[in-house]
Amino acid sequence: MTQHLRKKRREAFVLGNEAVVEGALAAGCSFYAGYPITPSTEIMETMARRLPLAPDGVFIQMEDEIASMGAIIGASLAGRKAMTATSGPGFSLMQEQIGYAAMTETPLVIVDVMRGGASTGLPTSPGQGDVQQARWGAHGDHPIIVLSATDVPQCVEMTVAAFNFAEKYRTPVVLLLDEITAHTREKITLPEPGDFEIFSRLVPTMPPEWYKPYEETLRGVPPMPPVGSGYRFHVTGLTHDLLGFPTSRPEEVRALVERQFRKIDRFFQDVQLVEHVDTEDAEVLVVAYGCVARSARLAVKQARDVGVRAGLLVLNTLFPFPRAHVEKLMRTCRLVVVPELNVGQISREVKRVNEGYTAVRTINRIDGQIITPSQIFKEIA
Amino acid sequence: MAEVTQLIHQYLRHNKKFPLVFCPGCGHGIVLGSLVRSVHALGLSKDEVVIVAGIGCSGRIAAYVDFNTVHTTHGRALTVATGIKMANPALTVIAVMGDGDAFSIGGNHFIHAARRNIGVTALVLNNFIYGMTGGQCSSTTPEGAYTHTSPMGQPEASFDVVELARAAGASGVARGTVYHVKALDGLITAALAQPGFNLVEALTPCFTQYGRGNGFKNPVAMFQWLKERAVPLEAYEKLEQKDGRIPIGVFVKRDVPGLETRYAAMCREFREKKGGAA
């Protein structure tokens, strides 16, 4: 009834990187710390202009990526929704602190706009080589959530999802983009209040002296007060007891790490963001993410046009790996094709889930060029 | 004595296992005492004080005091402290670091925190050595000193921490020792009260890892050494023969608002301008 009375939605023609900022602000992000690096820089530059306009918005350019991670950890402990963005080499520098954030259960969003190559590699060319780094880059066993986006509108949605997951599960969340998605300009509808369900971390309501910062709860995620609010406790990267104090007693260490994994395992379905395209009757399945999923979408359509029952599973969540979705389709398809801009970082996961049941074919490019629809079409039709 | 006990009960964590992890003869506990007395003297509430510590012996201090405490990764205490201060400027943020922490692995963060003049007090417990890691040289180990990684004597020169902080632009720079406790109390109190980035370097003996290898008979000899070598700045300047003396006191005192204050003012102005334009 009131639908047609609503004022016209504002639209904008923006880069993927700029869309990330729209998503972040819609999710309530009020703190950004970063260090410039191609091809993620527009995220930082847009934040530098936008955050000072928000009440209490803080933007700070730090001396390096390690410092940027430290600053957003501090800001998050102080109660802010905080993020940083970087690309491959900077992402590597952040890894120790990503592990710290996982161990201390500090909500954060890290956007990594992947570029080609190891080392300095191909700074302005696309790649998807940081997938396993996002999962296992930090030392030690730790849970983490890794998301990815295929186009500019999705950059908004996935950034919001990243903040929501970070806050809900008190964990660092990595959003992996690739250079093409980040630097493609597309029309988006600018988010308005109420467009998205926004989740903020739970804060304790009990008296401070009752509060145990790392205690098991029904959700497995303890509430988290901002520093300075009267709940004084110790935060450490050492394995710690329920009060946060360092411990190396096996039973306390095991309980801590198991809870950290369990809090995400338990809500596995909630964090599985995938898109099914023509998968109901598919006998050939393409599994893709990022810019490659766009090529795959066209390839699948072309294959359907020539009578091949092809389907596409777009992975927006890369980790925890959406096993349930992939596994089910694996049992009904005769062939699974995994195109990606690396030597096979997600096909490795697909093969792991498959356990030899279905034929898995990979298409890999590591020369800074995109995988075209025709390249995928050739493999599936 | 009663007064001391009262302070302990007020500021130390009753549910934390004591005694401290520090070795006999270590000066870290004295710095901890100074820190607690300074917070008490300024009348700060425990809720508004945040201790951010790095890794190593000094990093363990954070666990014992009943403030908001964050034990971060090696060398990164100042980066986390910067995030906390920018996110909530009302908090009194103190970064407790060791010499290796602050000036070796964290050297870059240190000079940049001083340059941007973030309103954080850096309390550096300088014992010239990596203590918890087992006695390797740091960037403040004196030239010629013996450590496990300089068995022939440290061939590298060491940082003059005071000059480093001064050159990088800190608002306040001071040096004290754990022998001169009353003076150290004063230095920390002044640093906490002054806006902007403040460094307090506290010289503290490590007999276990440094003293034994460098000709000190016992911890007392190290305190004796501090007593003899450290000279108040005014007296130091008048000395004709400096021969190895160490000046202590306040070296830099600039009443400059911290980054958090300047940033907030800048944003306010920016918003008003934008608001007026629209």
Question: Which pLDDT band, with edges at 50, 70 and 90, does A359 fall under?
Answer: very high
Higher pLDDT pick, A321 / A381: A321
Q: What is the number of alpha carbons within 13 Å of residue A277 lying toward its C-beta?
A: 21
Interface test with A, best of B10, B44, B73 (most A CBs within 10 A): B73
Alpha carbons B158 and B103: distance in angstroms, whole number? 10
Asked if residues A182 and A128 have their Cβ atoms less than 8 Å apart, the reply is: no
CB contact under 8 A, A79 and B90: no
Question: Which pLDDT band, with edges at 50, 70 and 90, does A4 fall under?
Answer: low
Mean pLDDT over the full length of chain A: 96
Alpha carbons A34 and A93: distance in angstroms, whole number? 12
Q: Chain B closest CA to A217's CA: distance in Å?
A: 22
Question: Which pLDDT band, with edges at 50, 70 and 90, does A150 fall under?
Answer: very high
CB contact under 8 A, B68 and A96: no
Alpha carbons A310 and A303: distance in angstroms, whole number? 6
CB contact under 8 A, B72 and A234: no
Mean pLDDT of A266-270: 89
Asked if residues A39 and A179 have their Cβ atoms less than 8 Å apart, the reply is: yes
Of B69, B86, B90, the CB nearest to A235: B69
CB contact under 8 A, A70 and B83: yes
Q: 3-state SS of chain B? A: CHHHHHHHHHHECCCCCCCCCCCCCCCHHHHHHHHHHHHHHCCCCHHHEEEEECCCCHHHHHHHECCEEEECCCCCHHHHHHHHHHHCCCCEEEEEEEHHHHHHHCHHHHHHHHHHCCCEEEEEEECCEECCCCCEECCCCCCCCCECCECCCCCCCCCCHHHHHHHHCCCEEEEEECCCHHHHHHHHHHHHHCCCCEEEEEECCCHHHHHHHHCCCCHHHHHHHHHHHEEEHHHHHHCCCCCCCEEEEEEEECCCCCHHHHHHHHHHHHHHHHHHHC
CA distances from A347 to A145, A199, A273, A286, A311 (A): 18, 32, 18, 11, 17
- pLDDT value of position B9: 86
Q: Please check whether residue B84 touches A, CB under 8 A.
A: yes
Alpha carbons A159 and B109: distance in angstroms, whole number? 29
Q: Which of A293, A260, A301 is nearest to A275 (CA)?
A: A293
Q: Please check whether residue B271 touches A, CB under 8 A.
A: yes
Q: Chain B closest CA to A244's CA: distance in Å?
A: 9
Provide the token pair at B44: 């700060």
- pLDDT value of position B51: 98
CB contact under 8 A, B79 and A70: yes
Alpha carbons B164 and B72: distance in angstroms, whole number? 23
Asked if residues A96 and A45 have their Cβ atoms less than 8 Å apart, the reply is: no
How many residue pairs bridge chain A and chain B with CB atoms within 8 Å of each other? 138
CB contact under 8 A, B90 and A77: no
Cβ atoms within 10 A of the Cβ of A347, count?
Answer: 22
| CB-CB neighbors (< 8 A) of A67 in chain B | 76, 79, 82, 108-109, 112
Mean pLDDT of A147-167: 98
| Helical packing angle, A88-104 and A65-77, nearest 10° | 30
- pLDDT value of position B278: 44
State phi, psi for A177 to the nearest 5 degrees: -115, 170
| CB-CB neighbors (< 8 A) of B269 in chain A | none
Provide the token pair at A357: 């049941």
Q: What is the pLDDT of residues A232-255, one digit of tens each?
A: 999 999 999 999 999 999 999 999
The DSSP output letter for A255 is H
| CB-CB neighbors (< 8 A) of A63 in chain B | 108-109, 112
CA distances from A10 to A2, A20, A188 (A): 18, 17, 9
Which regions in chain B score pLDDT beneath 70? Answer: 1, 276-278
Question: Which pLDDT band, with edges at 50, 70 and 90, does A5 fall under?
Answer: low
Taking every pair of Cα atoms in chain A, the longest distance, rounded to a whole number of angstroms, is 69
CB contact under 8 A, B78 and A70: yes
Of A33, A70, A228, the CB nearest to B72: A70
Of B46, B62, B80, the CB nearest to A234: B62
Alpha carbons A126 and A38: distance in angstroms, whole number? 11
Alpha carbons A295 and A291: distance in angstroms, whole number? 7
The DSSP output letter for A4 is G
Q: Is the pLDDT of residue A1 over 50?
A: no
Residue count of chain B: 278
Q: What is the per-residue DSSP string for A346-368?
A: THHHHHHHHTTSSEEEEEE--SS
Strand bridging mode B49-53 / B92-98: parallel
- pLDDT value of position B2: 75
Judge residue A61's burial from the number of C-beta atoms within 10 Å of its C-beta, 0-12 exposed, 13-18 middle, 19 or more buried: middle
Provide the token pair at A304: 């359907």
CA nearest A239 in B: which residue? Answer: B71
Q: Which of A110, A130, A176 is nearest to A316 (CA)?
A: A176
Secondary structure class of A297 (helix, strand, coil): helix
% chain A with pLDDT above 70 = 98
- pLDDT value of position A321: 96
Mean pLDDT of A163-189: 97
Alpha carbons A133 and A281: distance in angstroms, whole number? 34
**B 30-49 residues with CB below 8 A of A?**
46-48
Provide the token pair at B258: 């911290």
